Amino acid sequence: MTMAVSGDPPDVIYGDDERIFGFAELNLLASLEGLAARDGINWRVYPQQVLDGLRVDENKKR
């Protein structure tokens, strides 16, 4: 959080679900969809349940 406030946000963060979703509610996270598409990431290699559990719904923010 301190790095983001200073204007130098980290590229990667780690934390429990509540903390991560709290960051999402504060609009402190960026979508990975565009980067993944640009870099040819194949989302099908990851279990769908894992992806669904970690995806932030823009309408609900969780």
3-class SS string, 5-53: HCCCCCCCCCCCHHHHHHHHHCCCCCCCHHHHHHHCCCHHHCCHHHHHH
**What's the pLDDT score for residue 62?**
46
22 within some domain: no
The domain of 56 spans 31-62
Give the tokens for residue 29: 């996270």
**What's the pLDDT score for residue 58?**
65
Rounded mean pLDDT for each run of 10 residues along the chain, 62 residues in total: 77 76 84 90 91 74 48
8 within some domain: no
61 within some domain: yes
57 within some domain: yes
Number of separate domains in the chain? 1
38 within some domain: yes
CB 62 within 8 A of CB 24: yes
In angstroms, the CA 24 to CA 9 distance is: 14
